Structure 1
Amino acid sequence: MLKIVQILVILLQLLKKKEVDELIKSASAVKNHLAFIPEFCQYDRNGLSVYFESKSGDQLSSYLRKYIRYLLKVNMENHYGSEWLTEEKVKRREMIAPEARYIIVRESSNAIFDDNAPKEDARTICWTGDGDRVVGFVHYRFVVEEDIPVVYVYELQLETFAQGRGLGKFLMQLVEFIAHKVGAEMSYELLCKTFDSEAKAKLEV
């Protein structure tokens, strides 16, 4: 009897693993996660006027790759100190992976750029790619942690002038909405929120 119970437990675990794997695969296969929530694809408040685009790591243009590397260096180099060169190599590999998903933040074409802003706050001048100026991004992925499907936020980077205006919080909420809309109750501690008791027990330790 005990052996039969053990076999059943193993079968249930395999079925659950298959279900979780299929869920992650399905979520990652969606080309445009923002299509689920068009009403949240722009942010106009606190002196900012920006909108969002959905991309995957293998869809990034050379301009976007260069910009992401640049903004990461500006925002993170001092925090990593002497370890930055090693960490930067890791981030470069991560950023172009097909499973890497992005929300690209662009400044609306009708936004007024403040020419009197301090030089360190006017970094959008470096954008040389097509379209409106890019002023930040979110890099996230659908992965499995402790047998729980989760959304893992790898990076949320904004230029200095766009910080402290509620945009970062809005983008985190946007990722949360995406997690719900793709049909799964996903969470991760970095999102500071769990959505069911099982995830809470395993991830909020």
Structure 2
Amino acid sequence: MTSNSGRSRGRKEKENKKAFRKLTNDYLCALDQFCRRAQNSDNVLENLKPFSKFSKNDLKLDITYRKAESFDETTSEEIFSVFEQNMRDMYEKSAVGWIKREKWDELFDNDARYVLARDDANMLHGFVHLRFVVEDNQDVLYCYEIQVNKLSQSKGLGTFLMKLLELIAFYNGFSKIMLTVFDINEEAKKFYKTKLGYVLDPFSPTAQDEECDYEILSKSIKQNPKVEKPQLPSGAILSS
């Protein structure tokens, strides 16, 4: 026979678990709203005006931030051309293959955000496709693509754009940057890991001994004390 005190303890434990689940769900909802606010921002470079120019190795470029939904057909074609020149061969060798329509839809989805690097003649020298998302229950600036025009490579622009992403993440209070890289892209992996300090993310399939032809890399970002963001309830452990 169960004692009254035992039943009381059982009810109390259930009530505590229910309350804790609500706190956790509230946190995840707040985190989603936090990411959505960054997504909705018209210009995340507003506090980074010193980085609105790139001048190095004969390149003098303007750096701007735009939403994909604002692109005209010419801009979209220009971005896709740089992407295809750099990446088509690797996609054709990958398990997913090269499917132009799928890549076009991803690049110009309404949630896609861009940092563009152009010269005075409006030529596109490089771009970053990014999104502010909740990934594995964490606030993440996800770098979907970083591409530099072949004529402008090895001039420091790629490093500049990746460092700018770190500043964007910091000033907006994001915890880390994530990106995906093909396993055969040794040059890119060396760039991210050796030069920029990215590491294999715990949620990468390769980190879990799964056979895959890509890696997910990430880099933690120092927290900005000036940015208010949702706090995980004490003791909570979130699973993906």
TM-score for the superposition, normalised by structure 1: 0.78
Alignment of 1:48-197 (within 5 A): 48-81=59-92, 84-86=97-99, 88-107=100-119, 109=120, 132-182=122-172, 184-190=173-179, 192=198, 193-195=219-221
1:88-145 CA distance string (max 9 Å, x none): 22221112222100011101x2xxxxxxxxxxxxxxxxxxxxx621122110001111
SS in 1 for 2:45: helix
**How many residue pairs get matched?**
175
Q: Can you give the 5+ residue segments of structure 2 that lack an aligned partner in the other structure? A: 1-11, 180-191, 193-197, 199-218, 224-230, 232-236
**Equivalent position amino acid for 1:28 in 2:** Q
Question: How far off is 1:84 after superposition?
Answer: 4.6
| Aligned counterparts of 2:86 and 2:144: Cα–Cα separation in 1 | 14
- Residue 123 of structure 1 is matched in structure 2 by none
Alignment RMSD: 2.2
Secondary structure at the counterpart of residue 102 of structure 1: strand
Q: Which runs of 5+ in 1 are unaligned?
A: 110-130
Give the fraction of aligned pairs with identical amino acids, expressed as a percent. 26
The answer to whether the Cα contact below 8 Å between 2:116 and 2:128 also exists between their aligned partners in 1 is: yes
TM-superposition CA deviations, 1:158-192 (whole Å, max 9, x none): 1112111221111011112112222x233134372
Structure-1 separation of matches of 2:221 and 2:169: 10
For 2:178 and 2:165, the matched residues in 1 are separated by 13
- Please say if residues 68 and 113 of structure 2, whose CA atoms lie closer than 8 Å, have aligned partners that are also in contact: yes
Q: 1:189 to 1:55 in 2, by over 3 A?
A: closer
Larger radius of gyration: 2
SS at match of 2:174: coil
Distance 1:4 1:143 in 2: 32
Structure 2 residue identity aligned to 1:99: D
Instruction: Tell me which residue corresponds to 2:189.
Output: none
Alignment match of 2:39 (pick from 9, 19, 28): 28
Q: Which moved more, 1:144-153 or 1:3-12?
A: 3-12
Bigger relative contact order, structure 1 or 2 (CA pairs below 8 A, ≥6 apart) = 1
Match of 2:30 among 8, 19, 29: 19
Residue 195 of structure 1: CA displacement?
A: 2.9
Measured after TM superposition, the shift of residue 58 of structure 1 is: 0.4
- TM-score (norm: length of structure 2): 0.67
Letter in 2 for 1:33: V
Provide the rounded CA distance (Å) in 2 between the counterparts of 1:6 and 1:185: 29
- Structure with higher helix content: 1
| TM superposition shift of 1:196 | 6.3
